Each structure stands twice: as structure tokens, then as C-alpha cells.
Amino acid sequence: MHLVWENLIPNLVLLWTGKFKGLDEGQGGYELGPTVWEAIGAATVKAGDTIPSAYGPRVPNLSTDSSAYVSAEMWSFWTLYIAPVVLRRRFRQQRYYDHFVRLVRLLHLCLQFDITEKEIDTIEEGFNDWVSDYERLYYQGDPARLPICPVTIHALLHIAESIRVMGPVWCYWAFPMERYCGKLQPAIRSRRFPYASLDRFAVEDAQLTQIKMVHGVAEELSLEPETNPQSGFTHAAYQSCILLPPSRARAPPDNQLSVIASALVTRAMQNGLSNHRRLPISKVKQLLKGARISEWGKVKRVDSDEGDTMCSSTLGRRGQDRRDATFVRYQIFVDIYAHHRNKAPKYKLTTFYGQIEHLYAITFDDSAARRTLKLENDTVILAAIRPCVLDEIAPPKDLDIHYYSKMGALDIVDVKAVQVLIGRLPAGSDGMAIIDRSGSLARAIAVDDGNDGDDSD
């Protein structure tokens, strides 16, 4: 926290804005003009509308809100996700932007949940090169510019070794003291004898913790307030998610019904329906008209404590100051031979980004309909998603950032394919940039079963 987010990054910003200890840019070209920095600050603020609140608090305008409190968490999010987009093409010399992006890539590596020995070596070599280039670009070999090289720059050279000794940095790049102080604060019951209250609470909390661990009664003795389970639609076949209000019992319009029917035909083919016995779309639409269909406003992933709540863009009210939680990442199997009607399908797991427009729970009470559609359960939950058409714009090197400027035709996918919320931010002439904080742990893995005709299992 103190090394990177409260020292290194703010110092870089001071350098870029010409406010670092009275030093100018010397022989370099890294200072950003006032109007450029104001544009960066405005873009940062605007990004708060299109980045969901699950990603963290809004980052204030760094160019004008001099009195605004910028926490370490805000600096972290700005550095890792916003800055690579809003700083693109802003420097007069591209090498300064490339140098910053290399830092961001190294920080992403450091923050991985698990890390290999090879990646630790990459971090070590990367920071060695980054610090050497920092001295060349900013210090410029001028002793009068020595304040540009504080001890925090040297400390970067020891990050890799600390990972080797103590493990991934998420184990200790945390705020344990701040969190413990926050836990102690409510225990102060007496202003006259505050330390007696703190001592008693610390002892009793330690005793209670030991009892929980020894006897395995952590849940029974938990002092956390109980959270009421959210009411919504659940099904045994969809244990990873729950549909949440608002809701309405309504059949989709005919154009969407056709797309849903097509998706169910594809699903049936993946479940064993012969390509030569392809179901007519009209027949599937008739089966859909006999089913019970309800539309829901939200879907929440409940397979982990950190599951995202993703919203439909068409059902439910949207306040003017509400942050957008309708764009998601989803992964589906795509038939690479889709344009070859007489060729056996071969499916490839593909990642898409898009906006949820509808969430449908469809229940087929008729067993004959389920057999026709090759359904194992009576209910399917589908998401209608408008995909982002990614542009062929080279992203910042080695960063998971993508650009789009238009939306595609509606996709109908099983809700299990919808994985996480994504954030977006305006990228000027490049359209919109997509950012994804989830990393590799939130992605599906395709397992090849050895069948060349169908890799969908």
C-alpha cells in the first residue's frame, strides 16, 4: 500500500504534472500540459458511470479535486485499469507511456492469486529493467535531479525476493492493522477507561476465536449480523446463480422468440440431436408458446462469496447517478464449421463481452417437449445479450483491455455462461474500452474429450 499506491504512483503523477519538488522535465518529454491533464481527470470521472460499483468507489477528478481524498484503493484501481486507457496517446514521447504500461503489467503479475517461479523471475527482471529505465528517463544522470529517485524506487527491486520468501503479495499487501483498528473501535465503551474496554475485548475475542477453532462452531458463534437470503428464482440445475426481482410473467416478442428457438436448437444438437434431423424453428416456437416464461431483472452468482450481481438493461428502474452493472463477460462454445451445413460441428470455447438485455426463466411442463428439445431438466434460464463487436485496435501490451465502437446482433446463451461484470470507459476516438478485473480464476476451461466432432463437453 505505502510503497506503490501512496508513494510511487502519486510521485509519477507529480512528475507528469510538473509539480515534483520544483523539478522540470529536464531533457525528457514526460510533462503533460494543463489542458491534457484536465482531460485525463474528466475522463477518469466520466468512467465512474460505466464501471460498476462492485469494482470499487468512484475515482475523483485528479486534476481539479485537490481537496478530495484519494485512498490507496482508488490509486490502485486508477493505475491498473483506468490510467492505461486515459493516458494512451497523451505523452509527447511514447516511451513514457510504454514505460508506465510495463509497470502496470508487473503490478498485475504481483497481484495474481498464485504465481510460478518463472513469473517471479519475470517480475525480478522486469523491475530491474523498469528501475534502470526510470533513472534514464526521469533522473537523466543529473545529480541535481537526485530527489527523483527516492527509496521507494529502490524498494521495487526487492519485491520479487519478498514473493520468494513470503508468497504471493495478496498475503501481506493488505491492511491488517487498519482492519484490526476498525474492529477494536466499537469496543471502546468508556471514555474514561478506554484501554480497559480494549483489553477486555481483545482477550474475549481471542478466547472466542479459540473456541470456534477447537470445537468447529465458527458459524454458530459468529457475531456477524445475519443476512437475509434474497428472494428470487432458483432451480436445482442452476445452483451457481439466482434470479432476482423485479420480475414479470411475459412471453418474449416474436423476434426474440425466434432467436431463443434457434438457441434451443443449437443446444439440442450439442446434446445429441443429429444435424440431419435439425428441428424446425417454427416447431420450437410452438413449444415455447406452451411453456411458462418469466423475465427477471437481475442475476447473482452465488457459487462464491464474491459473486457479482448483474442487471438487465431493460427491466427495472435506473437512477441518473446509478453505475452501469449490465455489461458482462460470457463464454460459449462456437461451432467453427457453422457455415458448413453438411459438416459435423466442432465447438471452440470463445470469450465475448456484451450487455444483458433480458433474463428469461423458461419451464417446460410437457415431458414430450423436453424430449424433443433434448433437455435434461424442466427449466432453462437464458440471457439475451447484445455483444460488443471488438475493434482490431492493439491493446496496451500484455494488458487485458479491449476496444469496441458498436454492438452486434442479439445472443441467447445459457445463464451459466455469464461469468462476471465488466467495466467500460470512454476511450476517445477508440470508442469504448473494456476492463475486466476477474483474472483467469473466473474463466471457464474447455476439456477436450477426444471427440473431433464435438468439443463441447
203 and 285: one domain? no
Please check whether residue 452 lies inside any domain of the structure. no
> Mean pLDDT over residues 323-329, rounded?
95
Least confident of 1-5, 246-250, 453-457: 453-457
Same domain, 103 and 200: no
Q: Is residue 269 part of a domain?
A: yes
Same domain, 73 and 132: yes
- Whether residues 88 and 166 fall in one domain: yes
Which three-class secondary structure state does DSSP give residue 5?
helix
Cα separation values, 109 from 8, 76, 83, 222, Å: 17, 14, 17, 35
Residue 440 maps to a domain:
no
Q: Is 239 within a domain? A: yes
Residues 197, 241, single domain; the answer is no
| Calpha distance 297→245 (Å, rounded) | 6
**What letter represents residue 234's amino acid?**
T
Judged by DSSP in three states, 137 sits in: helix
C-alpha separations of 430 from 59, 271, 391, 394 in Å: 22, 40, 9, 10
Distance, in Å, from the CA atom of 71 to the CA atom of 113, rounded to the nearest integer, reads 23
Q: Are residues 431 and 292 in the same domain?
A: yes
The reported pLDDT for the residue numbered 268 is 84
Residue 453's pLDDT is what?
42
pLDDT band at 219 (very low <50, low <70, confident <90, very high): confident
The reply to whether 429 and 401 lie within a common domain is: yes
pLDDT of 230 reads 65
Q: Is the dihedral of CA 318, 321, 322, 323 positive or negative?
A: positive
> How far, in Å, CA of 324 to CA of 346, rounded?
36
Four-residue CA torsion sign, 59, 60, 62, 67: negative
Neighbours of 219 (CB within 10 A): 8
Residues 166 and 310 occupy one common structural domain: no
Band of residue 123 on the pLDDT scale cut at 50, 70, 90: very high
The answer to the question of residue 447 being in a domain is: no
Specify which of 56-70, 198-212, 314-328 reaches the highest per-range mean pLDDT.
Answer: 198-212
The DSSP symbol for 433 reads E
H or E element in which residue 133 lies: helix 117-134
Q: Are 14 and 157 contained in the same domain?
A: yes
What is the pLDDT at residue 286? 92
Q: Quick one: 194 and 269 in the same domain?
A: no
User: What is the total count of domains within the chain?
Assistant: 3
Using the predicted structure, report yes or no on whether residue 448 has a pLDDT greater than 70.
no
SS3 per residue for 244-285? EEEEEECCCCHHHHHHHHHHHHHHHHHCCCCHHHCCCHHHHH
3-state secondary structure of 402: strand
Q: Which of 114-123, 188-197, 433-442 has the lowest mean pLDDT?
A: 433-442
What is the DSSP code (8-state) at residue 82? I
Domain assignment of residue 107, yes or no: yes
The residues, ordered by sequence, that sit 6+ positions from 194 with a Cβ below 8 Å of its Cβ are: 188
Q: Name the pTM for this structure.
A: 0.84
**Those residues with Cβ within 8 angstroms of residue 296's Cβ, 6 or more apart along the chain or in another chain:** 232, 233, 243, 244, 245, 246, 247, 312, 315, 359, 360, 361
Cα–Cα dist 358/259, whole Å? 12
Query: pLDDT for 150-174, tens place per residue?
Result: 999 999 999 999 999 998 888 877 6
First to last CA, the chain: 43
Q: Is residue 428 part of a domain?
A: yes
Measuring CA to CA, which residue among 276, 319, 234, 232 is closest to residue 53?
A: 319
Domain assignment present for residue 225? The answer is no
Alpha carbon distance 183, 209 (integer Å): 14
Host domain of residue 112: 1-171
Do 332 and 422 sit in the same domain of this protein? yes
Q: Where does the pLDDT of residue 443 fall: very low under 50, low under 70, confident under 90, or very high at 90 and above?
A: low
Fill in the amino acid letter for 49: D
For residue 224, the one-letter residue type is: E
- Least-confidence region, from 74-88, 147-161, 299-313, 359-373: 299-313
Asked if residue 244 and residue 203 are part of one domain, the reply reads no
- Model pLDDT, residue 271: 72
